[in-house]
């Protein structure tokens, strides 16, 4: 499970660098490059805030499995627009980023079902290490691929998602305990839970601080030159 998360997030980091670099190389336009980054960020803003509410209703293991498979397929779609107008990359980037928003909540929700309560703190620490390693290795991989074989290197990125899906598949259903996704609840209940999440962030100073720090980090990443 740890390796699946690491490999999947490395793939995300690689695409984060490879896509804007490719757009800038092809267009020599800072506006086009900024739009490619904004397509990714817009999906995070729009879909990221409700992804967890959806994931609570789904089977977490299957969400990770199918999420990685969908990301692999969407990554390969980029190859079909290599010689098309550059702006066709934007909707593909948005959809791919939107699909990726479901992986984090599913991974965080599945983890407590795989370890005992005594081991949960250590497992969460390893998960945090996983994310930090991916932030370090992913952009480096993306830069290496785009410099060596061009944007066709997204094939390697797609393979990382397929490998992650394979590792999630190896997590047997019998290993997943006390997982109770709340499927089929009414839309009204959905929005109640979404608003409850916002209230929890607003009322908890630590959560509010975490959101502010995350926003500042995201702003810094987005403003960095490709």
- Whether 50 contacts 194, CB under 8 Å: yes
pLDDT at 175: 52
- Dist. CA 193–CA 39, nearest whole Å: 27
DSSP symbol at 175: G
Instruction: Give the domain extent around 196.
Output: 187-226
Question: 221 or 34: whose pLDDT is higher?
Answer: 34
- Whether 183 contacts 63, CB under 8 Å: no
Judgement on whether residues 82 and 191 belong to the same structural domain of the protein: no
pLDDT at 225: 43
- Whether 132 contacts 9, CB under 8 Å: no
Judgement on whether residues 52 and 143 belong to the same structural domain of the protein: yes
Helix (H) or strand (E) holding 199: helix 187-203
pLDDT at 223: 47
Judgement on whether residues 156 and 200 belong to the same structural domain of the protein: no
Which residues contact residue 119 at a Cβ distance below 8 angstroms, ignoring those fewer than 6 apart? none
Judgement on whether residues 145 and 225 belong to the same structural domain of the protein: no
Structural domain tally of the chain? 2
pLDDT at 102: 93
Judgement on whether residues 128 and 202 belong to the same structural domain of the protein: no
Judgement on whether residues 215 and 135 belong to the same structural domain of the protein: no
* pLDDT at residue 176 is higher than 80: no
- Whether 156 contacts 10, CB under 8 Å: no
Judgement on whether residues 209 and 158 belong to the same structural domain of the protein: no
* pLDDT at residue 128 is higher than 60: yes
Total Cβ atoms within 10 A of residue 101? 21
pLDDT at 211: 66
Judgement on whether residues 98 and 192 belong to the same structural domain of the protein: no
- Sign of the dihedral through C-alpha 2, 155, 15, 61: negative
Cα–Cα distances in angstroms (integers) from residue 142 to residues 47, 85, 87, 152, in the given order = 24, 22, 21, 11
Maximal C-alpha separation, the chain: 54
Mean pLDDT (the chain) is 80
- Dist. CA 194–CA 84, nearest whole Å: 39
Whole-model pTM: value is 0.79
Question: 3 or 167: whose pLDDT is higher?
Answer: 167
Judgement on whether residues 48 and 145 belong to the same structural domain of the protein: yes
What is the 3-class SS of 33-89, one letter each residue? HHHHHHHHHHHHHHHHHHHHHHHCCCCHHHHHHHHHHHHHHHHHHHHHHCCCCHHHH
pLDDT at 28: 92
The predicted-structure confidence for 34-68, as pLDDT tens digits, reads as follows 899 889 889 888 888 888 888 988 899 999 999 99
Judgement on whether residues 131 and 34 belong to the same structural domain of the protein: yes
pLDDT at 70: 94
């Amino acid at each position: 499970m740890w390796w699946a998360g690491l490999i999947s997030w490395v793939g995300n980091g690689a695409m984060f660098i490879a896509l804007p670099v490719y757009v800038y190389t092809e267009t020599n336009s800072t506006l086009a490059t900024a739009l490619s980054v904004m397509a990714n960020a817009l999906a995070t803003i729009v879909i990221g805030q409700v992804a967890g509410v959806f994931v609570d209703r789904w089977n977490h293991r299957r969400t990770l499995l199918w999420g990685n498979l969908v990301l692999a397929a969407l990554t390969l779609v980029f190859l079909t627009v290599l010689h098309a107008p550059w702006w066709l990359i934007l909707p593909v980037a948005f959809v791919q980023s939107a699909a990726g928003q479901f992986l984090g909540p599913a991974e965080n929700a599945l983890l407590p079902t795989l370890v005992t309560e005594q081991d949960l703190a250590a497992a969460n620490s390893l998960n945090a290490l996983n994310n930090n390693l991916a932030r370090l290795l992913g952009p480096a991989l993306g830069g290496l691929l785009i410099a060596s074989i061009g944007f066709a290197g997204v094939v390697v990125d797609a393979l990382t998602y397929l490998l992650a899906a394979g590792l999630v598949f190896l997590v047997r259903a019998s290993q997943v305990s006390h997982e109770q996704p709340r499927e089929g609840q009414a839309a009204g209940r959905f929005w109640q839970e979404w608003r409850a999440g916002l209230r929890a962030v607003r009322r908890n100073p630590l959560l509010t601080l975490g959101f502010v720090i995350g926003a500042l980090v995201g702003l810094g990443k987005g403003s960095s030159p490709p």
